Amino acid sequence: MLMSSQPNSGSEAKLHYDPNGFRVLRAGQHVFCGVSGQPIPLEELRYWSVDHQEAYASAELATERLKP
């Protein structure tokens, strides 16, 4: 399978975020950052919130979103 280098290519995955990982509810190639809206390829997904059930493109964006 060839993957395009364009960030908007492919389909959006639907995930359920757990404390130690995530479950794929609908297969896809990426999810969108809950702060910036940028697509995050699943193989690069490292940051998410269990409480907000959303992904983040970086540790900085996750910290920004989770500030009280």
Taking only the tens place, the pLDDT of each residue in 7-19 is: 445 899 999 999 9
Per the domain annotation, does 9 fall within a domain?
no
Q: 60 — phi, psi (to 5°)?
A: -65, -45
**Domain residue limits at 20:** 14-66
Per the domain annotation, does 31 fall within a domain?
yes
Indicate the pTM of the whole model: 0.81
pLDDT band at 66 (very low <50, low <70, confident <90, very high): confident
Alpha-carbon distance of 1 to 65, in angstroms, equals 35
- pLDDT for the residue numbered 68: 83
Per the domain annotation, does 3 fall within a domain?
no
Alpha carbon of residue 3 to chain centroid: 18
Per the domain annotation, does 61 fall within a domain?
yes
Per the domain annotation, does 5 fall within a domain?
no
Per the domain annotation, does 4 fall within a domain?
no
Q: How many structural domains comprise the chain?
A: 1
